[in-house]
Structure 1
Amino acid sequence: MDVLRPVRAFDRTQQLHPWLAIPLAVVKKFTDDGAGGLAALIAYYSFFSLFPLLLVFVTILGYVFHGDKSVEKTIEDSVVAHFPVIGSSIRSHQLSGSVAAVVVGGVIALWAGLGVTQAAQNAFDRVWAVPYKARRDFLRKRLRGLLLLAVLGTLFVISSVISGLVSAGLGSLGYKTGGIAISVLLNVVLFTAVFRLLTTAAVPTRSIWMGALIGGVLWEILQVLGGVYVTHVVNHATEAYGVFATVLGLLAWLHLGALATLYAAEVNVVVMRDLWPRSLLGAPSEPADESALRALAKVEERSEYERIEVEFRTGGPSGGQEDS
């Protein structure tokens, strides 16, 4: 009795239907890339980077909008909305002291915050199968990280102003509907900027819109889930358990956010490079299988003098011809 017969039938069927083949190819490539581990690494660095970065952000807001508390509060509310599990803790914290102390503290906090940008760049290089020899060096990675933080900070401010205008111009029902639509649109813009800046490979901007759209929708869902978690778990917990719940909730939320981001990035790669349909069982029988695995192997090229060639056995596991 062939227990795998139904699975083989499903494999043949999914390869004939793009609506099924593309999502399965994304999952397959996500697994091949070890993106689950990369997402965990991003979440780990985010856990230690997020608070310093938000601290610097809120401190800068305090200096820039020192005379306009309403604008400052509006932007802080946006930070809380984007990072519901930790955002409320930022309200009562801000770098203070002399100008020199604030500058030194800001530089240290910013340097600590660059950890997540480095982890994200490494993950995107893996997703796009960028060989080690073609990746950015130490200095360029950190400069790109600073640029990413500056762009995201600017977009946060813009999104806060737009959200404030929407809330002022719409009624309660209209605000909820229009607010969600505006929030998703702004998330898509954020993801487009993130994908553009984190991608070392030569990729046209028009090829990342699908992943940015998916990422924007998933991020909006995560914001809602984070808000629900804070409302129903953290706010009703005891002091000791509340700290524990906040830490676990933040880690889980960051991990889900990293997973959503990398899955969205994988969609861009699979669609742009036609890495579908993929075979789910046995040998890599489809052209997309060979293209994906060949690119993954060539990631390990670390020098201009090194060249990795990939061959696939076409005669089965016991022997036969090989195809390069």
Structure 2
Amino acid sequence: MEALRRIDDFQRRHRRLGIPLAVVYKFVDDQGMYLAALLAYYGFLSLFPLLLLLVSTLAVLLENDPALRQQVLDSALRNFPVLGDQLRENVQSFQANGLALAIGVIGSIYGALGVAQAAQHALNKIWAVPRYARPNPALARLKGLVFMAVLATGLIATTALSAAASATQVFGVHVGAGPRIGVIIAVTLLNTTSLLLCMRILTHTEIPVRRLWGTALGGACAWQALQWGGAFYVRHFLHGASATYGMFGIVLGLLAWLYLGAVVFVLTAETGAVRVHRLWPRSLLAPFTDRTRLSQADRRAYRSYAATERFKGFQKISVEFRRGPAADTNEVESGEADDSGGGRRPDDGCPGSDDN
């Protein structure tokens, strides 16, 4: 126990160690794996209707330019490096007709609204928005439509940039490595902006967007690294795997890919909430035993979890912390759980201060 206490004291004193540990603990407390699974499920439901809609729309708009149509489609599928080749082969079977377009529109709207609802639930839980303060079903779906518009705009812009990056010539001029690097940077910044807009739109409380740029940039870089890692894995380990696994491999790979992307999204939001609400440093043993002294960040986190479950505005929840055996005292610390975001209290201090 003495060794664990020393490790705990060390991570509490060092910011770079305290924040990652606090993010992991809050991710577990918020059931982040479940939140990511819910996002992946609705993402899976919306993807194939969205591809059907994309192919049908491209067939109508670019009927006289099949080369450009194929280039745009390839650029869109490049966002799924683990499955791009398999999806490219199977998506060609979609026929551009009125029925296909109608099915694509209905399926895409249903799936995208499901993704929006799942993302709202995740963000409101992560940012400790009480249940009574969350939007009603009509307003939630309106927010979902705005979210869909932002997502669609970002996807179109990313696809256009990806198409430019993959081209060897633009207007007859050879494209070198420099412009391609610039396109990668532009895509990363675009994804950063999309993350911030999604969190701002879907979280039903005021969040300091200016303080979240670094966190969102980290999430966008993680997403870009995930795409590169997937492409590397396909080139070196899964060459020719589609012939062996067929559609079953596509479904499993797609679910895994969507789930990893959802985990990146949830972890990005968790990191932002931890930093803004000063939920670090956490006690190393707090999730495992009661025989530990809670830090101020632990108390703020547990107050926020209680405040999140308030169903009525006139409902009051009081949180009491009775000193554990590690303190060798029966002293009781109590306080009212507030809904000001993360359970922050006037004496919590400002970001950058040390709560030990």
TM range (shorter): 0.7 to 0.9
Q: Partners in 2 of 1:260 and 1:241 — Cα distance?
A: 27
State how 1:2-81 maps to structure 2 within 5 Å.
Answer: 4-66=1-63, 69=66, 71-81=68-78
Q: 2:185 aligns with which of 181, 187, 200?
A: 181
Structure showing greater relative contact order (alpha-carbon pairs closer than 8 Å, 6 or more residues apart): 1
CA distance in 2, matches of 1:156, 1:66: 22
Is the deviation greater in 120-129 or in 233-242? 233-242
The match for 2:109 is 110
Instruction: Give the TM-score taking structure 2 as reference length.
Output: 0.80
Of stretches 285-294 and 60-69 in structure 1, the one that deviates more from structure 2 is 60-69
2-side partners of 1:73 and 1:16: how far apart?
55
Hey, what's the Cα distance between the residues in 1 that align with 2:325 and 2:153? 55
SS of the residue corresponding to residue 109 of structure 2 reads helix
For residues 297 and 284 of structure 1, the distance between their equivalents in structure 2, rounded to whole angstroms, comes to 19
Deviations 1:69-116 (A, max 9, x none): 555444323311212344452641546333x77336522442133222
| Corresponding residue for residue 132 of structure 2 | 133
| Aligned-partner SS, 1:254 | helix
The CA RMSD over aligned residues, in Å, is 2.6
Higher helix share: 1
Distance 1:78 1:187 in 2: 16
TM-score, normalised on structure 1? 0.87
Between the two proteins, the alignment pairs up a number of residues equal to: 320
- The structural deviation recorded for 1:16 is 1.0
More displaced stretch, 187-196 vs 55-64: 55-64
Pairing 1:172-251 to 2, within 5 Å after superposition: 172-174=176-178, 176-232=180-236, 235-237=239-241, 239=243, 241-251=245-255
Q: Relative to 1, partners in 2 of residues 1:109 and 1:288: Cα closer, same or farther, differing over 3 Å?
A: same
Distance across 1 between alignment mates of 2:279 and 2:108? 40
Deviations 1:248-306 (A, max 9, x none): 22121111111111111111111111111111124452211111110111111112232
Q: Which runs of 5+ in 2 are unaligned?
A: 286-290, 336-356
Is the Cα contact below 8 Å between 2:192 and 2:219 reproduced in 1?
A: yes
Map 1:92-107 → 2, pairs under 5 A: 92=92, 94=94, 96-98=96-98, 102-103=101-102, 105-107=104-106
Matched residue, 1:286? 295
* Greater Cα shift, 72-81 or 218-227: 72-81
State yes or no: 1:300 paired with 2:318. Answer: no
